[in-house]
Amino acid sequence: MLKPDGLHRIVTASPKQAAGGSDTVEVAALWRAIETIAGIGGGFGGVTTIRVWAALLLNRERSTGVVRMDRADVARLVGISPGRMSRILTALAAAKMIERRREHISGKRGPGRLVIVIL
C-alpha cells in the first residue's frame, strides 16, 4: 500500500531524477499520464486527477494492472469525496487510461465489485 510520502515523492520526481533508479518506468508512465490528463476537459485535467492516477498506479498488481484498493480507499488517500472520485474515474476511463469493470461475487446480489485496471 502507498505510504503518504510515497505519493509526494513520485508526483514531484522528474524523469531525470529517476533515470538511475528502479522507479524509472513508473515515473516515465506518470509523465505520459500527466500529458494525457492535461488534455482532459470538463475540469478533470488538474492536479487532483494526477494524484488519483498516481495512487492507482502505485497500488496496482504489476503483473495484471488490477488496482488493489477500492474506490473509497483511494478517495480517502487523495483527500477527495467518493463522488468526485467516481467522476475522475469516468474521465480517466474516457481517456483510455484505466478500465472499470464489475466482478460478480458468488452468492451476492447486485452488480458486483468494481475492479479498476491500469491500461
Residues 88-114: tens digit of each pLDDT:
998 888 888 889 888 877 888 777 777
pLDDT band at 26 (very low <50, low <70, confident <90, very high): low
DSSP 18-70: HTTSTTHHHHHHHHHHHHHHHT--TT-SSHHHHHHHHHHHHTB-TTT-BBSS-
Domains delineated in the chain: 4-118 (1.10.10.10)
Give the tens place of pLDDT for each residue, 36-89.
887 777 777 688 888 888 888 888 888 888 888 888 888 999 999 989 998 899
Residue 6 has pLDDT above 50, yes or no: no
Q: Amino acid identity, residue 18? A: A
Beta-carbon neighbour count of residue 91 at 10 Å? Answer: 21
**CA dist., res. 34 & res. 52, Å (int):** 11
Q: Are 107 and 58 in contact (CB under 8 A)?
A: no
